[in-house]
Amino acid sequence: MVFFKNPKDMCTPAQIYFYITALLVFATLVFDMITLTFPYKPVFHGAIVFIWACCLAWMCDKGYKTVSWILVSLFTILPTIIILLALVVLGVTFGAMSKEERAQEYQKIMSKEAAMQ
């Protein structure tokens, strides 16, 4: 049994994790190219993604497919839930303000920044 596999030979949870995070790594690489930063983060992240996908495939091969599905779900669904909760909390706070109140808050922020310079 080989630990490092071709993504096509991996089990379904490992493939789903690999392809979703490969898209994220590609998006990070494109962003780093646009902002002209050195793309060491996407390269490192890509290596970690591949190793983790191989770990998930290894768990499937050992008979722990359910554990593999749970781990994939935790790493994809949990951050989504956290982001949605943050948006709801921030959205409720921001949505409770009228247009005039938002304009006043913006002016306060801008005046503080101007005073700092």
* Threshold 0.75, pTM exceeds: no
Burial (CB < 10 A; 0-12, 13-18, 19+), residue 56, is buried
Task: Give the integer Cα–Cα distance in Å for 70 and 68.
Answer: 5
pLDDT of residue 2: 59
Mean pLDDT in the chain? 80
User: Helix (H) and strand (E) counts for the chain?
Assistant: 4, 0
Look at residue 24 in the predicted model and tell me its pLDDT.
85
| Span 10-57, pLDDT tens digits | 888 888 888 888 888 888 888 877 777 776 777 788 888 888 888 888
- pLDDT for the residue 92: 62
